[in-house]
Every structure is written in C-alpha cells, then in structure tokens.
C-alpha cells in the first residue's frame, strides 16, 4: 500500500463524513496493522500523536503533515505531551555512524535546544537540498577579494586605494540611486583580516544553521541583515561608505547566540559558556576595530572610512527576526502573530529609509564626499 492509498483509506473508512477528525481507537488499530513501511522514528511520532490526544480523536491534517515530514505547532505540542512513546536512545551514544551522519548529529546538538527536535532532525535529515547559500556567498566574497588584491597589489586596508572605492559593488552615499549597492557591498572587504573573520563565522555558524532551518530562512535572515546594515548607515552615518558582509554575519551570529541564551538549559553543545564568551569577545573586538578605522584611520584618506553601523544593525536584525526564525523549527512562520509584527516593523523601517535617502540628504544639506 502506497502513501496515497493509505490517505484514501483513512479518509474513506475512518472519516467518511469528512469531519477532519478520526477516532483514536480506529486510528490506533490502523497504525498497528498498516502495510506502509515507515521509519521507526515516524511510527513513534504517530503513536505519540495518538497517546497524547485528550479528546478521543486525531486531526486528519496533522497526520498528513507528519506523513509528509512536516509538523504544525499543535502537533509539536502533541509530541511534547507524548514524549514517553519516543525512542529512548541518546544520539551521542549511537555507534557505527558514517562521517556525514556524525556531522548531522553534531549539528543537531549544536543548533536545536529540544531533544524531540534533535531526534526528528537526525532521523529525517537528507542532504537535499544541500546548504549552498552560505557556501556560495563565502566563495564569491573570497574570489572578489582575491581579484582586487591582485589588481591593487594590496591585501590590507584596501579602502585607501581609489580604484577599490570606485568599484560598482561598494556602497557610497554619492551613488545611492544605484540600488544594487545596498546589497552588493557585502562582497567587498577592507582587508584580509575582515574577510577572514566574516568567512570563518559564516561557515562555522551559517552552514549548520542552514542545514537545520533551510536555505530560504537563512538566506532571508542574512540578506535582511545586509540590507539593514546599508540602510542604517545611510541614516545614521550619512557621509560614510560601507563594505563587508558584517551585517549578514552579525545577523546570523546574534540570532544563534540569542537562541542559545534563551534555551540555555536545553542546549547540549559542549563548553557552551566558554564558546559564548569567545564569540562575544571576537564580535566586540571586530566592532571596536571598525570604530577605530572609522574615526582614527591609521593613514590619511581622501574621504570618510567605512562605517561600523552595519555590524550593530545586523545584530538587531538577528536578535529580532533571527531569534524567531531559529525558535520556529519546522513550524510555519506565517501562522505566528509575532512574525508578522517583525515583518511589519522591518517594512516600516525600509519605507522610512527609502524616503530618507530620497529627501533627507538635500533637506539637511549633507556634504557628501566626492564620488570615487
């Protein structure tokens, strides 16, 4: 019996009136005697759904979502109440796993705070689609940096080279009308140290996050941090250019760190306090370096140095939008009121920033540095 036949059997025989609910007794009998081969973990989930129900009926839609490897918030609550029926073995104690499966187990304990979610992710994970977004962004950033490094014969403080600032990728207040610069600046970096810091954090934090939460959510979070970074600079530091992917990187990092703090007791990643302190020290030192370069540049320059406000705005995006994304593993964001509040706030900020860039520079008579 294939999956579609099973669904048809359930609907026709167990829910003939199409009420959307199935009596627990009939459903239990079906689960125990069905002919469809299921993963042991998925069968445990079905039994947990049955035993956790208090009204004597099972929602047909929840069953469909489970069979298609999706879970609603109501089903997550059902699993939480019926956790006694889940498999008891601890992931860390399993032996004989291949290299990839061991890495998946590491990611599960690194990212997810709930044991049920960790088991679900570990058993249903497939390398399709692969976590390509963060990897592609990092590779493009490295290629762009190497091209400019070879062309300028300079690998640190590249912003002091006029040809570097003439790049069509750099955000410059004099080129605000070229909208792509509000995004493309993430491919340019001040020097080898900034590129190395961003690339390392992207790969260490971004790839596991993308493996768990998917390319759509993590790319949305990263690009929202990038866009918020350039827009914030255009409002708060109106004479400064922007380079580097720090807005997106800090959105990922702050979201992950906030998720760890909010779920401290449930996180199973080793040495989490030490790692938290090291991450905060590294991020703070990077912000401090950016502030120093902005206000006390080591060399004379023809114009203002890149702003550090992208770091801070990326962190704000991560704590607000990112924390909700990471706490909503396999739940529909569209059904959550808090998600729409955050989206509305971001759109409001976006519209305000657009009007600011159109009118404020002339009204305030801001002296923009000459276009490179």
| Residue 253 contacts residue 318 (beta carbons within 8 Å) | yes
In a domain, 330, yes or no: yes
Q: What pLDDT is attached to residue 82?
A: 47
In a domain, 154, yes or no: yes
Which residues are catalytically annotated?
246, 311
Which residues, 6+ apart, have CB-to-CB distance to 12 below 8 Å? Answer: none
Q: How many domains does the chain have?
A: 2
Residues 146 and 115 in one domain: no
Q: What pLDDT is attached to residue 59?
A: 65
| 196-201-204-210 Cα dihedral, nearest 10 degrees | -120
Residues 311 and 278 in one domain: yes
Residues 118 and 204 in one domain: no
E-strand ranges in 49-189 read: 57-59
Q: What angle do CA 112, 117, 120 make, to 5 degrees?
A: 125
DSSP state at residue 166: T
Q: What pLDDT is attached to residue 263?
A: 87
Task: From 83, 104, 123, give the residue that closes a domain.
Answer: 123
Residues 115 and 213 in one domain: no
Give the pLDDT of the chain (372 residues) as one tens digit per residue.
555 565 566 566 666 666 666 777 766 676 666 555 555 556 666 666 666 665 666 666 666 666 665 555 444 554 454 443 444 455 666 777 788 888 888 898 889 888 777 877 887 777 777 889 999 999 999 999 999 999 988 888 888 888 888 899 999 999 999 999 999 999 999 889 899 999 999 999 999 999 999 999 999 999 999 999 999 999 999 999 999 999 999 999 999 999 999 888 888 888 888 988 998 998 999 899 889 888 887 777 667 888 999 999 999 999 999 988 888 776 778 878 889 999 999 999 999 999 999 999 989 988 888 777
Task: From 123, 141, 170, give the residue that closes a domain.
Answer: 123
Q: What pLDDT is attached to residue 117?
A: 79
In a domain, 81, yes or no: no
pTM of the model: 0.79
H or E element in which residue 329 lies = none
In a domain, 18, yes or no: no
In a domain, 298, yes or no: yes
Residues 185 and 322 in one domain: yes
Range of the domain at 118: 96-123
Residues 108 and 164 in one domain: no
Q: What pLDDT is attached to residue 226?
A: 97
């Amino acid at each position: 019996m294939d999956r579609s036949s099973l669904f048809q059997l359930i609907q026709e025989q167990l829910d003939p009136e199409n009420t959307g609910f199935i009596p627990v007794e009939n459903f239990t009998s079906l689960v125990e005697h069905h002919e469809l081969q299921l993963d042991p973990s998925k069968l445990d989930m079905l039994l947990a759904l049955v035993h956790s129900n208090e009204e004597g009926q099972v929602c047909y839609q929840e069953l469909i979502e489970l069979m298609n490897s999706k879970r609603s918030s109501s089903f997550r609550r059902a699993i939480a109440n019926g956790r006694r029926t889940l498999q008891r073995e601890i992931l860390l104690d399993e032996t004989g796993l291949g290299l990839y499966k061991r890495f998946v187990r590491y990611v599960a304990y690194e990212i997810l705070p709930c044991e049920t979610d960790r088991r679900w992710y570990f058993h249903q994970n497939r390398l399709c689609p692969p976590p390509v977004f963060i990897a592609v962004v990092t590779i493009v950033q490295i290629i762009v940096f190497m091209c400019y490094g070879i062309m300028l014969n300079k690998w640190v403080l590249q912003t002091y080279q006029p040809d570097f600032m003439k790049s069509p990728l750099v955000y410059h207040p004099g080129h605000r009308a070229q909208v792509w610069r509000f995004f493309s600046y993430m491919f340019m970096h001040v020097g080898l140290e900034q590129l190395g810091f961003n690339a390392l954090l992207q790969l260490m934090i971004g790839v596991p996050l993308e493996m768990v939460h998917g390319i759509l959510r993590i790319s949305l979070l990263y690009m929202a941090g990038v866009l918020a970074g350039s827009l914030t600079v255009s409002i708060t530091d109106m004479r400064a250019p922007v380079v580097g992917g720090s807005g997106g990187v800090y959105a990922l990092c702050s979201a992950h760190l906030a998720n760890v703090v909010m779920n401290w007791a449930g996180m199973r990643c080793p040495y989490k306090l030490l790692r938290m302190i090291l991450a905060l020290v590294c991020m703070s030192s990077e912000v401090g370096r950016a502030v120093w370069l902005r206000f006390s540049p080591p060399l004379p320059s023809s114009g203002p140095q890149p702003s550090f406000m992208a770091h801070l705005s990326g962190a704000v995006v991560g704590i607000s939008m990112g924390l909700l994304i990471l706490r909503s593993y396999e739940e529909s964001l569209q059904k959550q009121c808090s998600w729409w509040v955050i989206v509305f706030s971001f759109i409001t900020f976006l519209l305000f920033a657009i009007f600011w860039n159109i009118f404020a520079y002339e009204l305030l008579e801001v002296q923009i540095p000459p276009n490179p």
